[in-house]
Structure formats: C-alpha cells, structure tokens
Amino acid sequence: MENLGIDLKLITAQIASFVIFYLVFRKFVSHPLIKFLKKQKEQDELRDELATELEKRKETLDKKDRDMDQKRKKEFEKALTLGKEEAKEHKMKLIAEAKKESEGIIIDAREQMEEEKSKMYKQIREKIADVSTLIVKAGLKDYLKPEMQKEATKHILEKIPKVEI
C-alpha cells in the first residue's frame, strides 16, 4: 500500500486520534450540550405555558372586572332611580302636607273672620240700640211719658234688623 501512497501507521494514528476525539467530544461536549439544549427547550416551553396561562388569567380578570363595572353601574343607576323616586314621593308628601296645612289655615282664618264679623255686627247693633235709646230719651223726653218712652224704645229695638251670620 505504500505504492499507493497510503501509510498505515498514519491512518491508524488518525483513526485512533479520531476515536479519542469522538469519545472525548461525546463525553465532555456533546452530552452536556444536548442536556443544556434540552433544558433550554423545556424552560422555553414552560415559559410559553406560563405566558399562555397568565394571558388566560388576565383575560378572565379583565372580564370579571368589566362584569363588576357593569354590575356597579347598574346598581348605581338603580340606586339613583330609587333615590329620585323616593325624593319625588317625599316632595309630593310635603306638597300634600303644605296644601292640607294651608287649607287648615284658610279655614281657621275664615272662622275667625266670621266670629269677628258676628262680634262687630253685635257691637253695631248694641251701639244702634244705645243711640236709639238716647235719641228717644233726649228727643222725646219732654213729649212722652217714661212708659211711652220705654215702649217707643222697645218698638225701635224690634225694628232694628237682626243680622245673623
């Protein structure tokens, strides 16, 4: 083989050197590198799973938050409507009470006016009677006897209109 230019010692040394290199590479470089790459791949998959799970949780929380906001808004609107209705009812009650009270005041004022009117008519009647009596006494005392004066006074008093209220 030497004629072909092949050196067996050199080929054997190269094969031995390649086998040693292969074993050393496999033991110290290839296995740790493959383990490292597998570990990195597992970590990447775990990160992806965690990211997906976090995204799902975020979507769930966002949905719950939107639902809670809608619920709070509905409750607020309901409470606002209820408050307006209660205020309107309270306003109507106050108006009704005020009307009732004003009607009572008007009735009392009318009654008081009627009483004062009656008193006034009574006082006027008494004054007219007193004036009539004085007129009869003063004007007719020389012409009439005391009995006739009494009778004339009685007749005048009977003719004074009786005002009833």
Give the Cα separation of 12 and 18 in Å (integer): 10
**Residue 163 φ/ψ, nearest 5 degrees:** -100, 120
Q: Give residue for tokens 């031995």.
A: 16
Burial class (CB in 10 A: 0-12, 13-18, 19+), 128: middle
Q: What is the mean pLDDT of residues 123-135?
A: 81
List pLDDT tens digits, range 63-118.
999 999 999 999 999 999 999 999 999 999 999 999 999 999 999 999 999 999 99
List pLDDT tens digits, range 27-37.
888 888 999 99
Is residue 72 in a domain? yes
Give the model's pLDDT for residue 75: 96
Tokens representing residue 43 in the block:
């970590």
Is residue 2 in a domain? no
Give the model's pLDDT for residue 36: 93
Give the model's pLDDT for residue 122: 87
Residue 158 has pLDDT above 80, yes or no: no
Give the model's pLDDT for residue 112: 95
Is residue 1 in a domain? no
Give the domain extent around 54: 8-159
Is residue 28 in a domain? yes
Tokens representing residue 12 in the block:
């054997």
Is residue 164 in a domain? no
Is residue 25 in a domain? yes
**DSSP assignments along 76-136, one per residue:** HHHHHHHHHHHHHHHHHHHHHHHHHHHHHHHHHHHHHHHHHHHHHHHHHHHHHHHHHHHHH
Give the Cα separation of 107 and 95 in Å (integer): 18
Question: For the chain, how many structural domains are there in total?
Answer: 1
Is residue 40 in a domain? yes
Q: How far is CA 21 from CA 9, 18, 29, in A?
A: 18, 5, 11
Give the Cα separation of 65 and 9 in Å (integer): 80
Is residue 155 in a domain? yes
List pLDDT tens digits, range 137-156.
777 666 777 787 778 777 77
